[in-house]
Amino acid sequence: MAATASASPPALDLEALIQSLPACKRCRECRRGCDTLLPKCRQCTKAGVECMFYDHGRNELLPRSYISGLVDRVRRLSSELPSPTASIGPGISSAFGVNVKPDAFAQDGTQYEHHFAEVKNSYRYLGAEACLVKSPRLYGAHNIRSEPADDELDDWQCMNKDSPERQNELKQLYLEVVQPLYPILDPSLRYLQPELPTNLNSIELFSLYMMYSIACYLVPNNGKRQPNSQSSHLSSRLPYHQANSIKYRSLATQYFADAMEHLELATLEPNIDTIRCILLLAFNSSFDPLTGNSGQQVALAGRLAFDLESKRALQELEPNDVKMLQAMHMTIYCLENQLASTLDRPALFPEPPQETELCFDKNKPAEYLCSLFRMQNRFRRGDLAAKENVKKLLPLFDEKDELVPLLRITLHITHLLLNPCWGSAWHVLEAVVSCGSVHLCLTPHWVYRAGAVLIQSMPSIFGGNLIQLYSNALLVLELSSWKWPSSAALSASLVDLMQHMKKKYQPDWLDKLQHGGVRI
């Protein structure tokens, strides 16, 4: 289903695509700024050498002159065709500025829609079922909120950043929340012990700083609330959650910067340690997408894992490394499918081999999580019969709150993906506001989807339940907008949908229900 737009979408911006070309090989090696001139960049033109760049799609080096030829051909064809929008079939449009016709080579007769979103001056692929495609407000959402400068905030950071007590709390929080689901840390690693050695190497320092950074994103929902006497005046200007989030996100940025100082030395060799470092980067990007492209990071980790698994087949790995590689394979699979399911992209990394087909043992959270993503992947790529078979294997909702929060949210999201009804939407919107819930940058997408399903089911829902769950969705999207600005657009789209559905159904509670600051 294409995104709704009030006007015809603009044609493909060829100049914007040219500007997103990667830096050439020579400029990367010389660590110089590379422009996007064609057929050669300025540096290669001065040196009189061929300008080569690495094409990740074809997995080879290509000359810029090759791109120049393609650009000339596109411009020539564009000048021969009528208006770009005139040749686009009905319904195949996007609010993101790029239109692609249905796949002409689909063998089963199904027509697929493809969309591209502009992110940081480049384009990212979105499937037709991605929430971003279905949010009509998103195209104009570029209002990034700046975090307030505060002298007291600076003092707080100076006091906490290098505090051994604070760092130990962050490390323990990571081990309690993240490690059970993504078991990429060997418990025998010496930097996981209570007393840190004084001679840590770059790999160990990088891993520690990344753990601190990731844990900072977990504190607002999982940490201990400070007594009123210790709360800063920042808390008087903003709700506690937002004030705490600002403090710890800023601290996370500092720890991330410290980790980056050790990145090069920490990833010199293609081994278990390097995969661990890359996965820590990918998980950090799940909280702060501006620190890196998690999709590329997960793909790189997968490539390295394949190489090491070939060594395992030749019995060139130690038994402990074999066990750790299996856990990393599971983590890579989960992280890739987490992104793929949200953005409706294909997931290519193979399922990890397991003793049982699917595992839903609450005492094995990593296997449980992986099984949920197996189900999501099989459902998305399966035919109608396969989808029905997957639904039969789905475990029940966690109504007794027995699962760890991130696993519980993923379970309910899986229900929403497989069976998008108001009951599954209810469980998602209840889970995201529960105590200890972990919100990734992808969480607002599912909150929007759950809210949309809920609103579209308006005639079937008691008004009191609807207003409570609707206000939950708006609350999470509002809090998320301080961290991920596009969440504000998702919130606005949800409000628009509510107004539209109220006009359509004219419920008897119209303009009579209120919950907190939300009125419908």
Q: Which residues contact 266 (CB under 8 A, 6 or more apart)?
A: 202, 203, 205, 206, 207, 273, 274, 277
Angle between helices 202-222 and 164-177 (to 10 degrees): 80
Q: Are 19 and 121 in contact (CB under 8 A)?
A: yes
- SS3 state of residue 466: helix
Query: In this structure, are residues 96 and 86 in contact, taking their beta carbons and an 8 Å threshold?
Result: no
Q: Read off the pLDDT of residues 107-161 as tens digits, 9 standing for 90 and up.
A: 444 444 555 555 545 555 566 666 655 555 544 444 444 444 556 666 667 777 8
Q: What is the pLDDT of residue 394?
A: 95
Q: Can you identify the CATH homologous superfamily of domain 14-128? A: Zn(2)-C6 fungal-type DNA-binding domain (4.10.240.10)
Report pLDDT for 203: 96
Question: Degrees (nearest 5) of the Cα angle 254, 258, 263?
Answer: 135
Q: Is the pLDDT confidence value at 324 over 80?
A: yes
Task: Report whether pLDDT(181) > 70.
Answer: yes
Highest mean pLDDT out of 149-158, 231-240, 309-318, 388-397: 388-397
Q: What does the pLDDT read at residue 54?
A: 79
Residue 271 has pLDDT above 70, yes or no: yes
Q: Record the tokens describing residue 288, joined without a space.
A: 């702060």
Tokens 């015809």 belong to 8
Q: 244 with 203: CB under 8 angstroms?
A: no
Q: What is the pLDDT of residue 520?
A: 67
- Please report the pLDDT score of residue 362 as a whole number: 94
- Quick check: pTM over 0.75? no
Calculate what percentage of the chain has a pLDDT beyond 70: 75
497 pairs with which residues across the strands? none
CA neighbours closer than 13 Å in the CB half-sphere of residue 72? 8
Q: What per-residue confidence (pLDDT) applies to 353?
A: 82
User: Any idea which of 76-90, 188-202, 209-223, 330-344 has the lowest mean pLDDT?
Assistant: 76-90
Please say if the pLDDT value at position 519 is more than 80: no
According to the model, what pLDDT value does residue 100 have?
42
Give the β-pairing of 518-519 and 514-515. Answer: antiparallel
pLDDT of residue 428: 96
Q: Where are the domains of the chain?
A: 14-128, 151-343, 400-519
pLDDT, one tens digit per residue, over 408-441 is 999 999 999 999 999 999 999 999 998 889 999 9
Q: Which parts of 369-468 are beta strand (E)?
A: none
Phi, psi of 515 (to 5 degrees): -140, 110
pLDDT of residue 161: 80
The per-residue pLDDT for range 457-488, each reduced to its tens digit, is: 888 888 888 888 898 899 899 888 888 887 88
Residue 1 above 50 pLDDT? no
Of 518 and 379, the structure prediction assigns the larger pLDDT to: 379
Please state, for a pLDDT cut of 90, what percent of the chain lies above it.
Answer: 42
393 has a pLDDT exceeding 80:
yes
The whole-number pLDDT of residue 174 equals 96
Cβ burial 101-136 (10 Å sphere, 16+ → b, else e): eeeeeeeeeeeebbbbbbeeeebbbbbbbbbbbbbb
